[in-house]
Amino acid sequence: MTTLDPARAQDGATATGNVSAQTLPEVRVTADASPEDLPAPYAGGQVARGARLGVLGNTSIMKAPFNVSSYTAQMIQDQQSPTLADAVNKDPSVRFTGLPGGNIDNFYIRGFPVGEGNSGEIAFDGLYGVAPNYRVFTDYVERLEVIKGPAAMLYGMSPNSGVGGVINIVPKRAHEDLASVTASYASDTQFGGHVDVSQRFGESREWGVRFNGSYYQGDTPMDNQSRKAGIGALSLDYQGKQLRASLDVIGQQEKIDAPGRAFIMGPGLQAIPGAPDGRRNVTQPWEWTRGTDESLLFRTEYDINDHLTVFADAGGGWTQLSRLFGTTPQIVNAQGDTLST
C-alpha cells in the first residue's frame, strides 16, 4: 500500500499579484502487486507476458533468452482444458502423443520427447519430481509455462534428459479472497464439479490459504469407456517483509474402465487401413487402470539484504498405478482387425 502525504499546490499569481495557497485533500492509493511480479497478461487475459525461468526468476517474455509461451488459468477456463495435455496441445511447438482416453499424457516439444515413459519431466513450480506423474489436472494450475529448447541452465537436467524444452506448472495461490463453484458436463454422460476457495489473513494479509477440489464421473465419448477422478489441492503461503514461504499438497486419483490404447502395425502388413471412427475403442470393457498421485512441496526464501537472498526447497511425489489390460493392440490386416493378448 502506498500513502501520499497531503499535497499542497499554489495557484498562479492573479492580475493584482496576489498568490493564494490551497490544501488538497489527502489521497490514499492502494493496489495489489502482480501475483508473480510480472507485467499484466495480454488483452483477453489468456496469455501472460512473463514466466518463472529458474535462476533468472520472474522474467518478462520480451527479456527472456528463450522462446516462452505462458498460458493463464483464464485460458484454461475459457477453452475448457481439464488436463495439462488439453491446454498445451494448442501450442504450435507441442504435440500430444498420447491417445485420448488413455492413462498417461506424453508430449513432444520441437520434435523431441518430454515426459515420454513415466519419467516425471513436468516441472512443478520450477522443480522436477513433484508433479503427478501420469496426468496433470489443471484444477490447481495458475499458469502453464512452455519453454522451448534445452533449458538445463534454468531448471537443471530433466529426469529423462529431455532437450525439447520444459513444461512448468505454476500452482494457484491465495492472491485474493474468492469462493467459486463450477459444474461441468461432457459427452456422453461425464458430470463433474469444482470448488475453488481462497482467503488471506493477518494484519497485513501476510497469510494465505487456497483450496481446489474436484470430482468427475461418468461415460466418455469412447465405446465402453467410463472415467472417475477426484482431485484435491491445498496451497498455504506466508508473505512477510523478508521471509516468504509456501506449502503445496496435492492428492488425486483417476480410474478408467476400457482405457484407450495406441495401435501398432503387425509384421508384414502391406496396407494401412483407414482411420476409424473417433468413438471406436477396441479395449475390452473389463480392462481398467487406476492411478493415484500424492505431491508435497515446501519452499522458503529469506532476504538477508537488498542484494542477497537465501532459499531452500524440499518436496517430492509418490505415484501408484494399478491396471489390468492386455498387450498393445496390433493391426493385423488392411481391414483394421486387431489382435491383443
pLDDT interval class at 328 (50, 70, 90)? confident
Note the helical H segments in the chain. 73-78, 84-88, 152-155
pLDDT, residue 30, reads 45
| Residues 222-281: tens digit of each pLDDT | 999 999 999 999 999 999 999 999 999 999 999 999 998 888 888 888 888 888 888 888
pLDDT, residue 44, reads 66
CATH no. of 50-339 = 2.40.170.20
- Residue range 272-295: average pLDDT? 90
Give 180-198 as a 3 state SS string.
EEEEEEECCCEEEEEEEEE
| Residues 176-222: tens digit of each pLDDT | 999 999 999 988 899 999 999 999 999 899 999 999 999 999 999 99
pTM, two decimals, is: 0.78
Residue 295, class by beta-carbon neighbours within 10 Å (0-12 exposed, 13-18 middle, 19+ buried)?
buried
d(CA 300, CA 314): 9
Residues across the chain: 341
Average pLDDT, rounded, for the chain: 83
Question: Edge-to-edge strands of the sheet including 141-148?
Answer: 67-72, 141-148, 165-171, 122-124
d(CA 161, CA 250): 25
Residue 147, pLDDT > 90, answer no
- Residue range 78-104: average pLDDT? 87
Residue 148, pLDDT > 90, answer no
d(CA 193, CA 224): 23
Q: Which of 19-23, 27-31, 124-128 has the highest mean pLDDT?
A: 124-128
* Dihedral over Cα of 261, 262, 264, 270: its sign: positive
| Residues 45-81: tens digit of each pLDDT | 666 666 666 666 666 666 666 778 888 889 998 888 9
Note the helical H segments in 17-165. 73-78, 84-88, 152-155
pLDDT interval class at 7 (50, 70, 90)? very low
pLDDT, residue 116, reads 72
- Supply φ then ψ for residue 165, to 5 degrees: 155, -170
pLDDT, residue 121, reads 84
What is residue 276's DSSP assignment? Answer: P
Is the model more confident about 37 or about 260?
Answer: 260
Q: Are the CB atoms for 322 and 336 separated by under 8 Å?
A: no
